[in-house]
Amino acid sequence: MTLIEDRPSPASAAPEPQTTGAAKPVYRPDVETWLDTTDHKRLGLLFVYAAIAFAVASGVLGLIIGAKQASPSLNLAADRWVRLYALHTQMSVLLFLTALWMGLAVYVVPLQIGSGRLAVPRLLATGLWTYLAGGGCFVASYLIGQPNGAGITQPTPIPAPPGGANSATTLWVVSLALIGIGFLLAAASLLTTIVALRPDGMTLMRVPAFSWATLVASAVTLVATPVFLGGLLMLGLDQHFGGTLFSPRTPGNLPIWQHTVWLYGRPDVYLLTLVALGAATDIVTTHAHRPSLDHRAVVVLLGLFGALSLTSFVASDSVTHAVIVPTYTIFTAAVAVPLGLTALLWLGTMARGRPRFHVSLAYIVGAILLWASGAVNAIAAAASHVNFPNGGSVWSAGNTHTVVAGAPTLIAVGAIYHWAPKMWGRTLNTVVGGLVFLCLFVGFFAAGLCYYLLGYNGAPLGQIGGLSSYQKTLYDIAETGGALIVLGVLVLVIDLVVSVAAARGTRTGGDPYGGLTLEWATSSPPPAWGFEDVPEVRSEAPLAYVRAEVGRARGGSDMGDRGELPAVGGAG
Partner 1 sequence: MTAPLALPPAGRTRPRNLVNISLLMIVTGGLVMFAALIGAYVQLSEVASHWPPAGVNLDEYVGNMLAITAVMSAITVEWSWYSVKRDDQAQATWGLSVTALLGASFLVLLWDSARRIGFGPGSAKIGAFAIMYYALMVASGALALLGLAALLLALARTVGRQMTPTHNEMLRAVAWYWDFVVICWLAVWATVWVFT
473 touches partner 1 by CB under 8 A? no
What single-letter DSSP state applies at residue 207?
Answer: S
From the list 148, 169, 189, 400, which residue makes contact with partner 1 (rule: CB under 8 A)?
189
From the list 500, 534, 541, 544, which residue makes contact with partner 1 (rule: CB under 8 A)?
534
User: Among the candidate windows 37-45, 151-159, 228-236, 325-333, which touches partner 1 by CB under 8 A?
Assistant: 228-236
Amino acid at the residue 342: T
398 touches partner 1 by CB under 8 A? no
Q: State how far the alpha carbon of 570 is from the alpha carbons of 106, 186, 533, 535, 551, in Å.
A: 31, 37, 11, 12, 18
From the list 226, 303, 340, 525, which residue makes contact with partner 1 (rule: CB under 8 A)?
226
Q: Is 353 helix (H, G, I), strand (E, B) or coil?
A: coil
333 touches partner 1 by CB under 8 A? no
438 touches partner 1 by CB under 8 A? no
Residues that bind partner 1 (rule: CB under 8 A) add up to a total of 65
CA 425 to CA 436: how far, in whole Å?
A: 21
CA 563 to CA 236: how far, in whole Å?
A: 58
555 touches partner 1 by CB under 8 A? no
Report in angstroms how near the CB of residue 421 gets to partner 1 at its nearest: 22
243-302 positions binding partner 1, by CB under 8 A: 243-245, 250-253, 255-256, 259-260
From the list 115, 175, 286, 399, which residue makes contact with partner 1 (rule: CB under 8 A)?
115
From the list 229, 307, 323, 333, which residue makes contact with partner 1 (rule: CB under 8 A)?
229
120 touches partner 1 by CB under 8 A? yes
Please choose, from the candidates 108, 535, 539, 521, the residue with its C-alpha nearest in 3D space to the C-alpha of residue 296.
Answer: 539
Nearest to partner 1 of 8, 255 (CB atom): 255
514: left (phi over 0), alpha (psi -120 to 50) or beta: left
What's the full length of the chain, in residues? 572
Q: Is 523 helix (H, G, I), strand (E, B) or coil?
A: coil
Nearest to partner 1 of 21, 555 (CB atom): 555
From the list 533, 558, 560, 563, which residue makes contact with partner 1 (rule: CB under 8 A)?
533
Q: Is 507 helix (H, G, I), strand (E, B) or coil?
A: strand
CA 482 to CA 450: how far, in whole Å?
A: 11
Please choose, from the candidates 283, 515, 503, 222, the residue with its C-alpha nearest in 3D space to the C-alpha of residue 412.
Answer: 283
What single-letter DSSP state applies at residue 485?
Answer: H
Angle 217-223-224 (CA atoms, 0-180°, nearest 5)? 80
CA 353 to CA 347: how far, in whole Å?
A: 10
Report in angstroms how near the CB of residue 569 gets to partner 1 at its nearest: 5
Residue 393 has phi, psi (to 5 degrees) of -115, 155
Report in angstroms how near the CB of residue 189 gets to partner 1 at its nearest: 6
From the list 111, 302, 394, 537, which residue makes contact with partner 1 (rule: CB under 8 A)?
537
235-254 positions binding partner 1, by CB under 8 A: 237-238, 240-245, 250-253
CA 39 to CA 241: how far, in whole Å?
A: 42
User: Among the candidate windows 138-146, 225-233, 361-369, 374-382, which touches partner 1 by CB under 8 A?
Assistant: 225-233
233 touches partner 1 by CB under 8 A? yes
Residue ranges binding partner 1 (CB under 8 A): 114-115, 119-120, 123, 163-164, 184-185, 188-189, 191-192, 195-202, 222-223, 225-227, 229-231, 233-234, 237-238, 240-245, 250-253, 255-256, 259-260, 533-537, 546, 549-550, 553-554, 565-572
